[in-house]
Amino acid sequence: MSLYELVRPLLFMLTPEQAHSVAIFALKCGLLPGKSPVISGSLSQNLWGLDFLNPVGLAAGFDKNAEVYQAMLEQGFGFVETGTVTPLAQPGNEKPRIFRLTEDNAVINRLGFNNKGLDYYFSMLQNRNSENGIVGANLGANKLSEDPINDYVIGLKRLLGFADYFTINISSPNTPGLRALQGRETLDELLTKLKAVGREAILQKEPPLILKIAPDLRSDECEDVAEIIMKHEMDGLVVSNTTLSRDGLKSSKMNEAGGLSGEPLFELSTKILSRMYSLTEGKIPLIGVGGISSGADAYAKIRAGASLVQLYSALVYYGPGLVRKINNELELLLKKDGFGNVTEAIGLDHK
């Protein structure tokens, strides 16, 4: 029995948000010993000029304030995405706002981009040693912002050079009006301004800009997003954020408002991932997120078109040891199918 299996009943006696705070505290204090990174020739790849030791990353939402990215890299993740950060600190929505759906191995959250703001977040990243692992920054807009597009510009300008890539989060269901930024004309305006920031930056190369979309987009909306990101030569796409769907759930908490993540999101998010891979003709690296809790899940995302994958909710149920387990299982699956490297399996289901 793993240490997490012993501790989990105690953590589940706490509210989900209390348990998360305990986890962050333990990581900050070094109470979860780090291990050697998961390194494998079959799992490593280079994307955007960055060397990923393995394709399994931590999704945004866990390390909102960029406080424990190094500790999480040491748990075996190939990369860690911090945030979501907004220009101004904000408390988020009223508690309770996170719910475990244990019968479904799922989570519903309506946090609302609670974070300590850009100044604090920047202070956590400014002394980072980039040689210790890949860290991304997930950017959002304040709930009461009068100019949400400018919030993303502010965040990107402030953090240029301090994160390895930037994810533009316009798909959380918990900030009113945010998902409207996925609309054709508004998205075009947003990406025009953000790409201009990258071009004007005094850096050796433009920072990778990645868009994070919802799994609830209609087919025509997917087509619009694909067209706009191709037009602006975006570097990548995260598929997907949480869903508003409640199909197939068993838990009594299924009707809580917010975004659903975890195992029930797997099929829907993988379907949208596959659709976006086809629409972008495999020309843009995709990060597959939603319901991953095994090497087989990660492999399915990769075969559907993902170059990288991310997880978060599964950690609630299986603990940080899951990261190494997924990488080990993925390595065996690649070997079984005769692949020398994970890149050979990307989009395999489309060929």
List pLDDT tens digits, range 233-245: 999 999 999 999 9
Q: What is the pLDDT of residue 149?
A: 97
Q: What is the pLDDT of residue 351?
A: 86
pLDDT digits (tens, 9 = 90+) for 87-131: 999 999 999 999 999 999 999 999 999 999 999 999 999 999 999
Q: What is the pLDDT of residue 305?
A: 98
Are residues 113 and 84 in contact, defined by beta-carbon separation less than 8 angstroms?
yes
Helices (H), 173-239: 184-200, 219-231
Which DSSP helix (H) or strand (E) runs through 5? helix 3-11
Are residues 330 and 297 in contact, defined by beta-carbon separation less than 8 angstroms?
no
Q: What is the pLDDT of residue 103?
A: 98
Averaged pLDDT for residues 3-9: 91
The vertex-82 CA angle with 87 and 37, nearest 5°, equals 160
Q: Give the tokens for residue 124.
A: 């956590």
- All structural domains of the chain, each given as residue ranges with its CATH number in brackets, are 3-350 (3.20.20.70)
**The overall pTM is greater than 0.85:** yes
Using CB atoms within 10 Å of the CB of residue 246, give its burial: 0 to 12 exposed, 13 to 18 middle, 19+ buried: middle
* DSSP symbol at 338: T
Helices 266-279 and 295-304, axial angle in degrees (round to 10): 30
Instruction: Report cis status (omega within 30 of 0) of the bond before 243.
Output: no
Per-residue pLDDT band for 151 (boundaries 50, 70, 90) equals very high
Catalytic residues: 172
pLDDT(301) > 90: yes
